Amino acid sequence: MTESGVCSNMAATCNAQYYCPAQDQTIVDCQPCSEGVSYGSGCYCKDHVQSYNCSECRDQKCVKCIPETYLEAGECEDCPHGCETCTDGSTCTKCIQGYVFHPDSKSCAFPCTSSSDCLDITGGFCDQKSKTCKHCAEECLDCTSETTCNVCGYNYVMTTLGTCTPECKGLQTGFYCLDGQPHPCSDDSTSECNCGRSAGCATCSSDGKSCQVCLLHIQKDSAGNCTQCEHGFAMNEGLCWAEISEDPGTCSFEETTCAKGHYCPEFASVPVACLPCTEDMGLGHGCFCEVGVSLGDCWSCAGTQCAKCLSGTFLVEGACADCAEGCKKCEREGKCDECWEDYKLDPETQQCVFKCRSNLDCFDRDEGFCDMESEKCLACVGTCEACTSLDFCNACSAVFVTTTNGTCEPSCSNLHNGQFCDNGESKMCFQDLTSECKCGSAKNCASCEPSGNTCSTCLPHTAKDSSGACTECEPGYHIVGTMCWPQQQDISVSGTCSYTELECKTGYYCPVEYGDVVACLPCSEGIDFSDGCFCEDSVQTFSCLSCFAGQCSKCMQESFLIDGQCHYCSNGCLTCTDEDTCVACLENYVMDEVSGQCTFPCTAHNQCHEILDGFCDPVSQSCQPCAENCNFCSNFESCSNCRIGFVTTTAGECTEECFRIKDGYYCNNGVPSLCNGIITSQCKCADAMNCGSCTEDFKDCAECLPHMLKDRNGKCKLCAEGYQKQQYMCWADGTQAGEQGNKLSGIQITAIILSVVAIVIVIGSTITLIQKYKRRITRVAKVETYYN
């Protein structure tokens, strides 16, 4: 073998800093990576280990990728279609020749004027808005828009709506396929009914061998077969579709001549070109299903009637009607299947309920207050017209008095200046009154001037304006009804946050776990573990409880403070002074007085899987972690399920995963190897599991992995006698995860031996010390005898 190694397109043994240039089965020498690696190949950063699409390696790692790919975590990933260079899977920085760069979306697209321009480029269609090529849906081979397919892919069936539905295997006579399930044929069948050898049927004749009714827009010929299209329609893939005019037409305030299947993007004083109807053209627009007639909120036609409606509307007798408020998708009035973003579906009523985030959301809709737990606006009760909870009223109805305690009390009919109303009785105003004092027509008075017509002092949290009237609120309060009440969180002060964007201000934290944008809350109001106070604007300090001078000053439980940052205590520790010194343990954990660590006592491995992906050590009866890269184990040396990116071998080891392994090969320490009877991990046979070798078509197992048997369906799922299934493979009883036996690993045995040796040393040292002490006592006794 040469210094570089040799290879073919079937197998490669290139050495580090070389790549395989082979195009066929001919064995050739590997070439230096510096001479130009092509797409689909890749430089070998280690001997016999290829890094796909890598063009340069350093220190056994990929540091540079070929054009049209980018580097992520040491591997080369594909850029988006049309990109020559990119920073990640969605952000292009330069397009390949012939493509157009879109700065807003940072994407590359091929320019077009018609869908024929896109066939060789993307296998898609020409989007008339952007004049660029776009891909068809995944299951569609040829289309005119993202939602209108002309030819469906393998295992899919074309429908009369222009969509692809999964094929039904073994479809019986008199049934058609809908969403992959057989349905009895009817006049409204959306795909071809199985009527023997007859095509184009919606329903079958009584003998099931010919068509009774044809599919939409198909007519019977003179022989009675459904082979002809109605006028204005053309046959494609066995179905009839409206003929699209080459001239889309124009529209303006004065005249509209949009062709069938087109809509008017805007009505203006000057004519604008009509565009093909699409699902994203927006509510308020309507497709022209015949020249001069636009069907509101319709985006797909069936003849002169609407076949599909825009989101927020549903189909009724060939036209579109509005769904209920907040409903994005419905099939009939009053029953919603999916809601718009600011609403959520009530499963019992199938109605969309407005989803509030603060009381202000409900005040704006005049719907009471926001119950934060259910995110629903709840009505105020009884005589209350505006409230912040069921128990606190901000404004009562006309014949009642709103108190400073947020309750409604009966009003007083003959109230004089200097008096206030206390539960229907008039009383003189004093310092702790519960409702406003009457001072002429002035509002929010706590006491009156001597004249009795103006306020001397204001109600709590209310301040005087420049004219001396009590009409202004203190900071943090606002007027609801006529009085000042605590203000809803001011997001200009607190900031906002969501699961993906954290924009909290200093001294606030994000209370949301996922989903909507909400106002940040003061750090003093209960931060959950793993969140943290923002000690700087938009900069979160994880597990921080409070801040001082831009740094964390106090950490939450299960963490400790170092240089203004919080670090996690060791596993099971409630409070600690550093990572190695635990002061108190979490519930169910026990303090080890020697190590100062918290351990979880156990009797079975499954208890440890839930705690730290570990196993139960039978000697210490405490949970210990599995080896690196292992998810499930019963000792430190044998793994039954490895982490993502690694392969579980038949020896219970975790080895490097292979990239894009072919059928008929298995992964041998990161290198794809031909399945030849002696394998260390499962052989890839399509989607079959636990194969030792493949069938001739590579779709199923010919043989199973050692100690595994086939079930009655021919799948390798059973274990041989004396073996048990752990995760996906079979292991000898008493050797794998979940076993509660007392088998000790090599490391555990070594630890026991070392412990015994240590004990022997300690005993020996103790005996030596005792002997020395006795000799010293004897010497002292002799000295005392001598001097006495």
Task: Read off the pLDDT of residues 187-218 as tens digits, 9 standing for 90 and up.
Answer: 989 999 999 989 999 999 999 999 999 998 89
DSSP sequence for 486-523? EPPP-HHHHEEE-SS-EEEPTTEE---SSSS-EE-EET
Asked, for residue 443, whether it belongs to a domain, the answer is: yes
The two tokens of residue 627 are 């080896």
pLDDT of residue 193: 94
pLDDT of residue 780: 32
Residues 736-753 pLDDT 10s: 333 434 444 443 443 443
pLDDT at 632 over 60: yes
- 634, 736 Cβ separation under 8 angstroms: yes
pLDDT-based confidence at residue 525 (cuts at 50, 70, 90): low
Query: Which residues fall within 8 angstroms of residue 165, CB to CB, at 6 or more apart?
Result: 156, 157, 159, 177, 178, 179, 180, 190, 191
- 573, 560 Cβ separation under 8 angstroms: no
pLDDT at 443 over 50: yes
Query: Which residues fall within 8 angstroms of residue 268, CB to CB, at 6 or more apart?
Result: 252, 253
Cβ atoms within 10 Å of 786's Cβ, excluding its own: 7
Q: How far apart are CA 607 and CA 588, in angstroms?
A: 12
Q: Which residues is 336 bridged to in the sheet?
A: 330
pLDDT-based confidence at residue 612 (cuts at 50, 70, 90): low
Asked, for residue 104, whether it belongs to a domain, the answer is: no
Q: SS3 for 102-134, per residue?
A: ECCCCEEECECCCHHHHCCCCCCEEECCCCEEE
The alpha carbon dihedral of 17, 18, 19, 25 has a sign of: negative
pLDDT at 683 over 90: yes
> Using a CB cutoff of 8 Å and minimum separation of 24, what contacts does 361-365 make?
363/480
Asked, for residue 160, whether it belongs to a domain, the answer is: no
Most confident by average pLDDT, 8-17, 491-500, 565-574: 565-574
List Cα–Cα distances, 265 to 251, 297, 441, in angstroms. 9, 13, 57
Cβ atoms within 10 Å of 211's Cβ, excluding its own: 24
Higher pLDDT, 472 or 237: 472
- 139, 152 Cβ separation under 8 angstroms: yes
Same-domain status, 350 and 459 = no
Higher pLDDT, 134 or 664: 664
pLDDT-based confidence at residue 336 (cuts at 50, 70, 90): very high
pLDDT-based confidence at residue 755 (cuts at 50, 70, 90): very low
- 353, 341 Cβ separation under 8 angstroms: no
Asked, for residue 265, whether it belongs to a domain, the answer is: yes
| 271 DSSP assignment | -
pLDDT of residue 173: 93
Q: How far apart are CA 110 and CA 100, in angstroms?
A: 6
Tokens 């918290």 correspond to what residue?
Answer: 598
pLDDT at 787 over 50: no
pLDDT of residue 174: 94
Tokens 């105020």 correspond to what residue?
Answer: 380
Same-domain status, 306 and 374 = no
The two tokens of residue 653 are 């080891």
Asked, for residue 273, whether it belongs to a domain, the answer is: yes
The two tokens of residue 667 are 């992964």
Residues 619-631 pLDDT 10s: 878 888 888 888 8
Pairing between strand 518-519 and 495-497? Answer: antiparallel
| Percent of the chain predicted with pLDDT > 90 | 16
Number of domains in the chain: 9
Same-domain status, 274 and 144 = no
Same-domain status, 426 and 518 = no
Domain boundary among the residues 486, 506, 534 is at 486
Query: What residues make up the domain containing 459?
Result: 359-486
pLDDT of residue 750: 39
pTM, two decimals, is 0.37
Q: How many CA atoms, within 13 angstroms, populate the side-chain half-sphere of residue 759?
A: 6
Same-domain status, 342 and 432 = no
Same-domain status, 612 and 689 = yes
3-state helix, strand, coil in the chain (%, to 5): 10, 40, 50
| 12 DSSP assignment | B
* Amino acid in the structure at residue 691: C
Residues 59-107 pLDDT 10s: 888 888 888 889 888 888 888 888 888 988 888 988 888 888 887 778 8
Query: Which residues fall within 8 angstroms of residue 464, CB to CB, at 6 or more apart?
Result: 455, 458, 470, 471, 472
pLDDT of residue 781: 35
Residues 147-174 pLDDT 10s: 778 888 888 998 988 888 999 988 999 9
Q: How far apart are CA 191 and CA 731, in angstroms?
A: 49
Same-domain status, 498 and 401 = no
Residues 685-717 pLDDT 10s: 988 889 999 999 998 999 999 899 998 888 998
pLDDT-based confidence at residue 186 (cuts at 50, 70, 90): very high
The alpha carbon dihedral of 503, 506, 508, 511 has a sign of: positive
Same-domain status, 256 and 301 = yes
Query: Which residues fall within 8 angstroms of residue 500, CB to CB, at 6 or more apart?
Result: none
- 57, 16 Cβ separation under 8 angstroms: yes
- Region 38-66: mean pLDDT is 85
Query: Which residues fall within 8 angstroms of residue 110, CB to CB, at 6 or more apart?
Result: 82, 98, 99, 100, 117, 118, 121, 122, 132, 133
pLDDT at 271 over 80: yes
Same-domain status, 630 and 668 = yes
pLDDT of residue 176: 95
Asked, for residue 689, whether it belongs to a domain, the answer is: yes
Same-domain status, 658 and 736 = yes
Arithmetic mean of pLDDT over the chain:
81
pLDDT of residue 763: 36
The two tokens of residue 663 are 């059928």
Asked, for residue 600, whether it belongs to a domain, the answer is: no
Q: How far apart are CA 468 and CA 481, in angstroms?
A: 20
pLDDT-based confidence at residue 774 (cuts at 50, 70, 90): very low
User: Which spans in 346-494 are helix H?
Assistant: 359-364, 491-494
Q: How far apart are CA 704 and CA 682, in angstroms?
A: 8
Q: How far apart are CA 339 and CA 651, in angstroms?
A: 52
pLDDT-based confidence at residue 785 (cuts at 50, 70, 90): very low
- Region 460-482: mean pLDDT is 83
Q: How far apart are CA 94 and CA 691, in angstroms?
A: 44
Reported residue count of the chain is 788
Q: How far apart are CA 62 and CA 42, in angstroms?
A: 10
DSSP sequence for 192-245? ---BTTB-SEEEE-TTSSSEEEEPTTEEE-TTS-EEEEPTTEEEETTEEEEPPP
pLDDT of residue 631: 80
Nearest CA to 607 among 580, 651, 572?
572
**Dihedrals phi, psi of 436, to nearest 5 degrees:** -65, 145
Residues 394-404 pLDDT 10s: 888 888 999 98
Asked, for residue 624, whether it belongs to a domain, the answer is: yes
Tokens 């596993």 correspond to what residue?
Answer: 571
DSSP sequence for 617-674? ETTTTEEEEPPTTEEEEEETTEEEEEPTTEEE-TTS-EEEPPSSPPTTEEEETTEEEE
Q: How far apart are CA 249 and CA 240, in angstroms?
A: 23
Q: How far apart are CA 392 and CA 24, in angstroms?
A: 80
Q: Which residues is 204 bridged to in the sheet?
A: 211
Domain boundary among the residues 242, 261, 277 is at 242
Domain boundary among the residues 425, 459, 486 is at 486
Q: How many CA atoms, within 13 angstroms, populate the side-chain half-sphere of residue 549?
A: 3
Same-domain status, 440 and 379 = yes
Same-domain status, 615 and 727 = yes
Q: Helix or strand or coil: residue 8? A: coil
Strand (E) positions, 8-137? 18-19, 28-29, 31-32, 44-46, 49-50, 54-58, 61-65, 69-72, 75-78, 83-88, 91-95, 100-102, 107-109, 125-127, 132-134
> Using a CB cutoff of 8 Å and minimum separation of 24, what contacts does 416-424 make?
417/448, 417/452, 417/453, 418/447, 418/448, 418/452
> Worst-scoring range by mean pLDDT, 35-39, 317-321, 677-681?
35-39
Q: How far apart are CA 64 and CA 457, in angstroms?
A: 75
Q: How far apart are CA 198 and CA 202, in angstroms?
A: 11
List Cα–Cα distances, 409 to 402, 423, 425, 443, in angstroms. 7, 5, 10, 18
The two tokens of residue 645 are 């990116």
Q: How many helices (H) and strands (E) does the chain have?
A: 4, 87
pLDDT at 316 over 70: yes
> Worst-scoring range by mean pLDDT, 31-45, 85-99, 328-342, 410-424?
31-45
The two tokens of residue 621 are 């009866």
